[in-house]
Amino acid sequence: MSQDIHLRSAISLGKAIQSREISCVEVATAFLDRIDSLDSQFGAFLAHDRESVLSAAAESQKIVDSGEAGPLTGVPVAVKDNISTNGLETTCASKILKGYVPPFDATVVEALKASGCVVLGKTNMDEFAMGASTETSAYKICRNPWDTERSPGGSSGGSACAVASRLAPISLGSDTGGSIRQPAALCGVVGFKPTYGRCSRYGLIAFGSSLDQIGPIGQCVEDVAYLAQATTGHDPLDSTSLNLPPISTAELKSRTIKGMKVALPEELFGDGVDSGVREAVNVAVEKLLKAGAEVTTISLPSIKLGVTTYYIIAPAEASSNLARFDGIRFGHRASSGTHIGVVERSRAEGFGHEVKQRIMIGTYALSAGYYDAYYLKAQQVRAMMRQEFDKVLSEYDLVLGPTSPIPAFRLGEMADDPLALKLVDFCTIPANMGGMPAISIPCGHTQNGLPVGLQLLGGRENDEFLLSAAYAIEQELGFGILTPPTV
């Protein structure tokens, strides 16, 4: 068992811990050793502390010994670096927050600890979650375990890479326009964005407050479902938190594909979709048809407006949210001078190019004379998109399509074409615009061996149905847990 700890799914590890086949400390040690010996080639982690991890594992073992262990007790969880962790540096992969150690845990981190999970460390990301390749991190490049010359996607690239490379059995990311699902697809793992409001955002360092949602990344649907169960539920500290119980796994394995009504938007299969991605998704659709699903091609015209709308609303909200980072209260502070001069230089020195660009775009969209023309119009389009999806999801169980229009791309490949990089989120943005739950599961590979993700999108607050449908589809597709050649 000790030789294959890293190859086990999170749920499998949890069962082995409960049965005393292995201890929590042995599991934590195995993953810490892998991080220390292998992460230099992946760049998945920005911070971890061996002593605190082993101490937490020892506390989890006490829960096991008391007979009170749950399905994830003792399982290490990697946490994206924009989620606050008490006593562990949290930087959002930005120089402006270098050295910032939160004095509190985010609600989801408190929930992890309450479930007996062990916080393994903080994962690499695009700076302030602004990007789709993890190349805007101020600290290090993150690489895809399927081909280390390629991007793991973003902005939760470190969280997806950590799971795919087996440096962590499971992780948490955040998703503003696809930042959990897109890297999960590119790394051959499962990524789940719950309904907006099902998972508390308290302690998440905000990018776009009406779009952000924390969610799990794991090796299989069962793993992410159980981590979602552990981390969701109403939180009075988050004013947008829904007054709903935690996501339940009780019916996870009860769904059948026969009779499932699936909508296939033609807009998600346009010319911008890579041929290898298209082929893998089409093969998956054929399997669902053979299993008895009712698949119908439909039109959702608002999908084509998603990227443009997103890149007005998200930067506008970022402009407001990032105003607090002024070099005065915490994080990077420029050398002495006038108050205004210190603020200006701190922000100029601390923020990277992508973040500065989005702050300026957002400030412009909110400025007098342009608010109605840009921000207000974008919100109207967003409402239209939500109405279109609501109508379709009242008639169908799921909306299905590729998660990313392209497989993992080479690092630096899109450096001179920022618009092309933004279009990578074309398929995932609608779920954030409407606050709907969505999940990406592996559905095959391209001809050169890169993983392809299949996205399933469900109705708001129907997270349990979506997860059970994803589990059934995962079993039908038959790929199991994908293992990169570097593992």
Residue from 9, 23, 137, 179 carrying the catalytic annotation: 179
Other C-beta atoms closer than 10 Å to the C-beta of 408 total 28
Measuring CA to CA, which residue among 307, 414, 318 is closest to residue 360? Answer: 318
- Cα–Cα distance, 119 to 486 (Å, whole number): 24
Q: Catalytic: which of 155, 171, 319, 468?
A: 155
CA 311 from centroid of its chain's CA atoms: 19
Pairwise CA distance, residues 298 & 273, whole Å: 17
Is 80 annotated as catalytic? yes
Q: Cβ(27)–Cβ(76) under 8 Å?
A: yes
Which of 9, 23, 60, 80 is catalytic? The answer is 80
From CA 454, how far away is CA 444, in angstroms rounded?
9
Token readout for 379 is: 């919100």
Catalytic residues: 80, 155, 179
